[in-house]
Amino acid sequence: MSSAKKVVPSIPDTRADILVAALAILHEEGHSSLTVRRVAARAGCSTIGVYTWFGGKDGLVDAILLDGFRRFADALARARPRRSPLGTLLGQAVAYRRWALENRTSYEVMFMGAVPGHVAGDEIQLVGLLAYELLRGEVVAAQSRNLIDESDADTVAMAMWGLVHGLVSLEIASAEPKGLAARKSFHLRSFEVALVALEQGLLAKAPKHR
């Protein structure tokens, strides 16, 4: 702070400082340490800064969520397409799990209600829908090739989303008590078996050309 010359004043952007501090605290110390006072102290300002730039803790968490959903959607989008939409769907599911395990704190805040009383704003829900649309798009593609009997894309997408979300949530929730590596391979195998089984069960009974 003291030695900040005028060479690229780097704009003492309080807003950015606060956001960076919040993400660091969340990542290093977990959700229970994410308090306005601690964030402000780490950002080098008073608590009032959080209110000036984010309107309060809710706004700050919204900003964190926005960041999380964007990175999450990016990770899903990077799951490169396979030959069949069904293969792509599997790839998306694997990418989903990998991102969740590598960004556990973010995932807990985004999908497991880790920040107590928070309800996400409308903008957040829109960005969250982006990831769902990626999934839904592949489902529609599979349907248009007559790979799936069920005609409602949302029903199929919800089935897959629910399975992936449920398994990942259980894995993250149960990982805390005992971080055994044995559990990890068990969860990975369950994940794969369940996904393949669900896709098998959704397959068209009379495939046109398989």
Q: How far is CA 95 from CA 21, 47, 70, 113, in A?
A: 27, 37, 14, 21
Per CB under 7 A, the list member of 22, 23, 25, 34 interacting with DNA is 34
Per CB under 8 A, the list member of 20, 165, 175, 204 interacting with a copy of itself is 165
Q: How far is CA 22 from CA 30, 34, 55, 113, 124, in A?
A: 10, 7, 15, 17, 17
Scored b (16 or more CB within 10 A) or e, 97-109 reads: bebbbebbbbbbb
Give the end-to-end CA distance of the chain in Å, rounded to a whole number: 65
Quick one: what does residue 179 bind among a copy of itself, DNA, none, with the CB cut-off 5 to 8 Å set by partner type? none
Q: What is the distance between the alpha carbons of residues 101 and 94, in angstroms, rounded to a whole number?
A: 11
Quick one: what does residue 170 bind among DNA, a copy of itself, none, with the CB cut-off 5 to 8 Å set by partner type? a copy of itself
Per-residue contact flags (x/-) with a copy of itself for residues 93 to 132, judged by CB under 8 A: -------------------xxx-xx-x-------------
Note whether 49 binds DNA by CB under 7 A.
yes
Quick one: what does residue 47 bind among a copy of itself, DNA, none, with the CB cut-off 5 to 8 Å set by partner type? DNA
Least CB distance from residue 3 to DNA, whole Å? 16
Q: What is the distance between the alpha carbons of residues 51 and 14, in angstroms, rounded to a whole number?
A: 11
Residue type, 19: L
Closer to DNA by CB, 49 or 85: give it: 49
Given the rule CB under 8 A, which residues bind a copy of itself? 32, 112-114, 116-117, 119, 150, 152, 154-156, 158-159, 161-167, 169-170, 173, 176, 186-187, 189-190, 193-194, 196-202
